[in-house]
Structure 1
């Protein structure tokens, strides 16, 4: 039996088609988008503006392949703060937000506190990043590292419609 989730926004299938199309191709023309979702250009554009105004569409971004700019490797890192407190968590979060090599940081529940994604030019570079983080004043944590060998799926590869339908909303 699936748990029922509260729907936060009143969207119909056309809105979800627009979101899915923009997620996959943020630079799609208004004409192409309206054809893809089955609306004329003006109603499609009005829906996009409504989705932007409501904050559902937060922005439009380029998908940059950093490996074409620099030799780069990615590492997932599980972090467990040794003496968890709000002050320690805030200090950790403030520190990683200031580190350009930390390209993602998520607070999680369970046996660890954070999952990071770090970009580095080599394993040696990664080691230096982690040593510098550990050397920061007040930093006391354990970590496990997982080098990323290849991306398999990203959020932009997902169908918002299928995702929402699996949630029985």
Structure 2
């Protein structure tokens, strides 16, 4: 990968629906260069698919939180898989240190958060303890 590939990837990250001609205008690279490089990036698995960028606040809710989870002597991967089945869980990570698993959630209301914790999280076998923190502001790198 070189600078031209990074320019193309950056343009596609901003708007994956752009045609090769429009990408050429936006990047000042020839259309044939863009076409060939996109094909090469796909063939090499760097570009895996195109996706849409939705307004997550409107679709899933604007209350975001982080939950720190302490697991008992259980397979943490099984706990993570169970957590990821819930639509409110955006992602999960198995960690080192005092916290075994960290999840990021998104809900529409405090009542939804309450239901998630009481009716779902606390019923997962192997979860020993959890600490829930609500995000006041959340920033994501483009």
**Is the TM-score greater than 0.5?**
yes
Q: Normalising by structure 2, what TM-score?
A: 0.84
Deviation at 1:47, TM superposition (A): 0.6
2-structure distance, mates of 1:21, 1:143: 40
Residue 133, structure 1, aligned to residue 133, structure 2: no
State the Cα deviation string for residues 129-160 of structure 1 (Å, max 9, x = none).
Answer: 12222213x232322222122332x23x2xxx
Candidates 25, 29, 43, aligned match of 1:53: 43
Count the aligned residue pairs: 141
Candidates 25, 29, 34, aligned match of 1:44: 34
Asked if the contact 2:66/2:103 (under 8 Å) is kept, the reply is yes
Aligned residue in 2 for 1:166: none
Asked if the contact 1:133/1:139 (under 8 Å) is kept, the reply is no
1-structure distance, mates of 2:95, 2:14: 27
The structure with higher relative contact order (CA 8 Å, sep 6+) is 1
Residue 66, structure 1, aligned to residue 56, structure 2: yes
State the Cα deviation string for residues 49-92 of structure 1 (Å, max 9, x = none).
Answer: 11122121122221111333465411111222133x5xx21320
2-structure distance, mates of 1:46, 1:98: 38
- Structure 2: gaps spanning 5 or more residues: none
Q: Normalising by structure 1, what TM-score?
A: 0.72
State the Cα deviation string for residues 82-133 of structure 1 (Å, max 9, x = none).
Answer: 33x5xx2132022112111112112233332222111212222212212222
State the Cα deviation string for residues 4-56 of structure 1 (Å, max 9, x = none).
Answer: xxxxxxx1110111111111222223222123333211220111111122121
Aligned residue in 2 for 1:15: 5
Asked if the contact 2:65/2:104 (under 8 Å) is kept, the reply is yes
SS state at 1:18 partner: helix
